[in-house]
Amino acid sequence: MQELPASRELVDRALLDQEAFAELVEKHKAMVYSLVYNFFHNRSIAEDIAQDAYLDLYRNLDRIESDKHLAFWLRQTVTRKCIDWSRRQKHRRCQPLDEAPEPGVEPRERDLMLESALAAKVAALPEKMRLVVILRFQEDLKLTEIAETLDVPVNTVKTTLRRALDRLRPKVSHLAEEARYGPIRA
């Protein structure tokens, strides 16, 4: 009998034990949540889609081949759920409620105005471009990994990323200067 690779050990335990499944969720929750949050910029939606992705994971756990496959499977599932949710919302009319900010401690000083301005520019991109930008720069995935995740050719990813950056460049070139010196006045 051939021994299973060590990277499959937690998946096998998760099939039999709820605590092991909780370990799987804990190990991947930051990646899953941040993917969804950076797509929608909404905590409630991020939590709902993450929960739905974990439910799908639980149902499909026996199909996961390894730890690496698990991370790939989760990324692909989450990106598809983001696209599906976004498409469903286009047909709904609803007024979102203001989210109350939660207290938290930021470990490093950040320029929140610059981050929010940049996030708004990325959020204005079409779905596919936005996903490619998030996967490339937030998740730091290689182009081949993005292609696998989105199930498209690598050249499509390259083209989509280049077009997204071409759209963003003129819109954000002034942001770095404003962050350093304040708003530029003519």
CATH number of the CATH domain containing 149: 1.10.10.10
CATH number at residue 29: 1.10.1740.10
Residue 36 is part of which domain span? Answer: 1-90
Q: At what angle do helices 67-90 and 143-150 cross, to 10 degrees?
A: 60
Does pTM surpass 0.95?
A: no
- 100 pLDDT above the threshold of 90: no
- 135 and 80 housed in the same domain: no
Question: Would you state the structure tokens that stand for residue 81, as one six-digit string?
Answer: 């759920």
pLDDT band at 66 (very low <50, low <70, confident <90, very high): confident
- 125 within domain boundaries: yes
The predicted pLDDT at position 1 comes to 40
Q: List, in order, residues 6 or more apart from 158 with CB less than 8 Å away.
A: 143
Could you tell me where the DSSP H helices lie in the chain?
Answer: 9-16, 18-40, 43-60, 67-90, 112-123, 127-133, 143-150, 154-181
Residue with tokens 């938290």: 104
The predicted pLDDT at position 147 comes to 93
